[in-house]
Chain A
Amino acid sequence: MIGGFLGPLAAEIFLLVAICVILIQDAFSYDQEREWTYRLSQLALLISGILVATGMPANDQVLYGGHYRVDTLALLLKLGIIVVSMLALTFARPYILTRRILRGEYFLLVLFAVLGAMVMVAGNSLLTLYLGLELMSLSLYALVAMQRGNRQSAEAAVKYFVMGALASGFLLYGMSILYGVTGSLIIQQVAQIGLASEQQLLFQLGLVFLVSGLAFKVGAVPFQMWLPDVYQGAPSGVTAFISSAPKIAAYGLIIRLLSDALQPFAADWQQLLSLLAVLSIAVGNVVAIAQTSLKRMLAYSAIAHVGYFLLGIIAGDSQGFAASMFYILVYAFMSVGAFGAVIYLSFEGEEREQIEDFRGLASRNLWQATLIAFLMLSLAGLPPFAGFWAKFEVIRAVALADQIWLAIVAVIFSIVGLFYYLRLIKVMFFDEPEQAATVKAPRGLRFALGACGLGVFFLGIFPGMLLEYCLQAFNG
């Protein structure tokens, strides 16, 4: 761990400096393929990941006027964000090479978004949480709009921007009420004053705004309208990114705001979240069945997964939070791989994102089809894949918290959800292919897909270690 006053910030500072260096390098680069910009971006992420990992805190600290927090939770979430971002970049590289999106800014904006996400999960005041969120969101809006001349992507960007701005408005309004009634921005002080305060109603008003804003951001029903359109309209490389790293950051935000700052009002937000979770699980799983586009199907499955990961938070104890954290880390990993599978067929330039396009993939490339099948089975929550343990842990947590009916709903709808995941596997393995030519994807794509597919397999066989870390983050 690097010492000194700014030592704990080493990873963030390094990433920012690296971004500035890459920005200048990119501005003077004549390389049409932006090879160095890409490599340097990956290197920057790798080194900041190492800096995060080596900066293991001895104990929880609140630093820099109470705005920054060093704890195991922040460390693990940062690592998760960096790993899935690296995978998303690896997936995106061949995708944007063949399209008109190839500009150095693509990599830079991803790095900025990662920086924002890191700020967010380590934020300890309402101010830093909000600034981190905006830093991340602003980069994401621009990323979605990157494919110029594509109407769908422009529409997605506008939707994302308007909805994101609305959600930020809700969040900010809730935060301003909390600040107005407590007079403090620091999470712990807000919680302390909230515990002693008699003005319950005012806190609850702020809470409602915060929960709505958060629900908008993560795309929980009934605030989900924008999500399928954005996921489908955005370039697949961008979708792989926005469906993974920001989810981890959003988890950090929810924990900091709800379980830390509004701990005295747990009973209130548990009710709100239960409603959101049940609706998300039901709507996401049922509507996904009717989709013909794989991207849109995965978008609805993302809505359903948001519902599942909220279950752990509803449980409201450290066991539940840890289960939820395990869920979101595993989900981000699976999601990046699943959208990587969409890229896998369309790396040549045309979009092949319909489920039909996957017909007979097994006979064209058995190994890659198997990897995609692993990812789908894991998303469906079947053993022995990582997704099973994730679902198992959150459902167990919510059942232990005496919310049996939530657990029952979750189980029933995960059986419903099996259908559309298994349909893709059926299409890949048992349908006749349109063309017999084997698919030969670029090396980076094959590597990333292999990492995701095998990752969910090994995490499914040895879930203990990651789960142990997650528990450690909440048990101190």
Chain B
Amino acid sequence: MPVEKLIFYAFAALMLFAAVRVISVRNSVQAVLFLVLTFFCAAVLWMLAEAEFLAITLVLVYVGAVMVLFLFVVMMLDVDYAAMREGFARLLPFGIIVSLMFFGVLFYILRDRFFGPENLPPPPPHGADYSNVEALGEVLYTEYFYPFEIAAVLLLVAMVAAISLTFRGRQQRKGQQVSRQLQAQKSDRLKIVTMASESPRKATPEPAPTDPEEGQS
């Protein structure tokens, strides 16, 4: 048991440290890497709570896929760090006071008299042949099928929304279109304007505002 406790405290401390670094570090690439570390620690904690499937999914999906994509995005963005830190010092005391008060309230209410070991005893440990995935799958597709389907729709919405916000339409290439070139008529390109003949003497005194388009066609 002490080994498990040791692992818990070690990774919980590491997780807190990494989580604080996510928001305090200057470089946003490093922030993403700290977020990866946070997820990783959370996965270890879930492993301790015998939620193996969730732990593995967290590492595979979040660390392996989502955060890597995130890293790409962050590397490609040009973030103005100076502008982001503006007003930080001014708001810091206020922020600290509010969070301390908040922490005080939460601490007072959530002390171990409610969530302590005597109120919430640990669940009985399962044998080695117990399948976490099977248990999850059983309820996921029966009891929880309705929320499960809605979550799937949520992903579809995210996709539609992302595409509609970023897709800029088909790129217009400036290539030749032979068929349109062949169909061009004289009347499309050439405009014949009838005007009075101009004498060189009259043209000098008044620079009449002429439409620049007119003579050039």
By a beta-carbon cutoff of 8 Å, the part of chain A in contact with chain B is 9, 16, 23, 64-65, 67-68, 103, 105-106, 108-109, 112, 115, 119, 125, 127-128, 131-132, 134-135, 138-139, 141-142, 145-146, 148, 180-181, 199, 201-202, 205
Contact = CB atoms under 8 A, between A and B. Distances in A.
A65 B138 CA distance: 13
Nearest to B166: A148
Interface string B110-149: 1000110000000000000000000000000011111100
Contact of B109 (A109, A131, A132, A205): A205
Contacts of A138: 154, 157-158, 161
B144 A180 contact: no
- The A contact surface, by secondary structure, is helix
Given A65-B142, A65-B144, A205-B109, A105 B150 contact: no
Contact of A67 (B115, B147, B156): B147
Given A65-B142, A199-B114, A205-B109, A142 B161 contact: yes
- The B contact surface, by secondary structure, is helix
B161 A202 contact: no
Contacts of B145: 64-65
A146 B154 contact: no
B147 A142 contact: no
Given A112-B157, A112-B160, A131-B151, A142 B165 contact: yes
A285 to B, nearest CB: 30
B157 to A, nearest CB: 5
A128 B146 CA distance: 8
A115 B114 contact: no
Closest 4 pairs (CB-CB, A-B): A142-B161, A105-B164, A65-B143, A131-B150
Given A145-B165, A202-B114, 20 more contacts: A16-B153, A65-B143, A67-B147, A68-B146, A105-B161, A106-B164, A109-B160, A115-B153, A125-B147, A127-B144, A131-B154, A132-B150, A135-B154, A148-B165, A180-B115, A181-B114, A199-B114, A202-B109, A205-B105, A205-B110
B163 interface: yes
B150 A139 contact: no
A127 B160 contact: no
A201 B109 contact: yes
Nearest to A141: B161
Contacts of A146: 164-165
Given A67-B146, A67-B147, A181-B114, A139 B157 contact: yes
Contact of A109 (B110, B142, B143, B161): B161
B150 A108 contact: no
16 contacts: A65-B143, A65-B144, A67-B144, A105-B160, A105-B163, A105-B164, A108-B160, A109-B161, A112-B157, A112-B160, A119-B150, A132-B150, A134-B154, A135-B157, A138-B161, A205-B110
Contacts of A67: 144, 146-147
B161 A131 contact: no
Contacts of B161: 105, 109, 138-139, 141-142
Interface of B: 105-106, 109-110, 114-115, 142-147, 150-151, 153-154, 156-158, 160-161, 163-165
Nearest to A140: B161
B155 to A, nearest CB: 10
Given A16-B153, A115-B153, A131 B164 contact: no
Nearest to B145: A64
Contacts of A199: 114
B160 A128 contact: no
A201 B109 CA distance: 7
A82 to B, nearest CB: 17
A145 B162 CA distance: 11
Contacts of A105: 160-161, 163-164
Nearest to B120: A180
A142 B164 contact: yes
Nearest to A146: B164
A18 to B, nearest CB: 13
Contacts of B165: 142, 145-146, 148
Contact of A131 (B110, B142, B147, B156): B147
A7 B147 CA distance: 17
B157 A128 contact: no
Given A105-B160, A105-B164, A142-B165, A128 B109 contact: no
A128 B153 CA distance: 12
A64 B114 contact: no
Contact of B153 (A103, A109, A112): A112
Contacts of B146: 9, 64-65, 67-68, 128
